[in-house]
Structure 1
Amino acid sequence: MPNYDYKCQTCDHVFEVFQSMNDPKLEDCPVEGCEGKVKRLLGTGAGVIFKGGGFYETDYRSQSYKDGAKKESDAGKPKTDAKAESKPGSGSSTAPSKSKD
């Protein structure tokens, strides 16, 4: 639900109302003793860009932000040591064979 700005045409009181798009426009000034009519003002809107395949704020992050986020996520991952995992001869469960003499 959006916020709408209204301005009284008599006393110049400006106020904001949180209302549904389906609600009727306000007509009377909420200031006590003022009988003026209010007019809905045009809003500047939010800084959202709608284009491309997605409509998410993160779709339009700068490259430097993406690089920093990648470094941060890589730093949190545990590092694996390839040398420790594949030592030759370790972990072998074969017993030496006895020769028959």
Structure 2
Amino acid sequence: MPLYEYQCKSCENRFEKRQKFSDPAETVCPSCGGEVEKLISQSGFALKGGGWYGDGYSSSNGKPTPPCQGGGGGCAGCPSAA
């Protein structure tokens, strides 16, 4: 279940609530009873190390990258093409 962070508009109390996606958002501060707003927090999800991301989608997947010719044409994502 995701962990959501809320902040009270009256007393500025910040609190977290573990809720299902289908649960309604909190509307009342547990400290003062004031109106709360849901905050956008940094996710706890990070891709680290090897695995499917490092092996399948990274440019460092062990296969050499061909050198850029810089002559224009087919290197749309290449810095030399700009």
Bigger radius of gyration, 1 or 2?
1
- Structure with bigger strand share is 2
Cα-to-partner distance string for 1:33-91 (whole Å, 9 max, x where unaligned): x2310101001102423xxxxxx96514xxxxxxxxxxxxxxxxxxxxxxxxxxxxxxx
Structure ranking higher in helix proportion: 1
**Which residue in 2 is equivalent to 1:21?**
21
Q: Deviating runs (4+, > 2 A) in structure 1?
A: none
After superposition, the CA RMSD in angstroms is 2.3
Name the counterpart of 1:3.
3
Equivalent residue in structure 1 for 2:36, among 26, 35, 38:
38
Change (3 A) 1:17 1:58: farther
RCO comparison, higher one (Cα < 8 Å, 6+):
2
Q: Structure 2, unaligned stretches of length 5 or more?
A: 55-82
Where structure 1 has 5 or more consecutive residues not aligned to the other structure, the ranges are 50-55, 61-101
- Percentage identity across paired residues of the two chains: 33
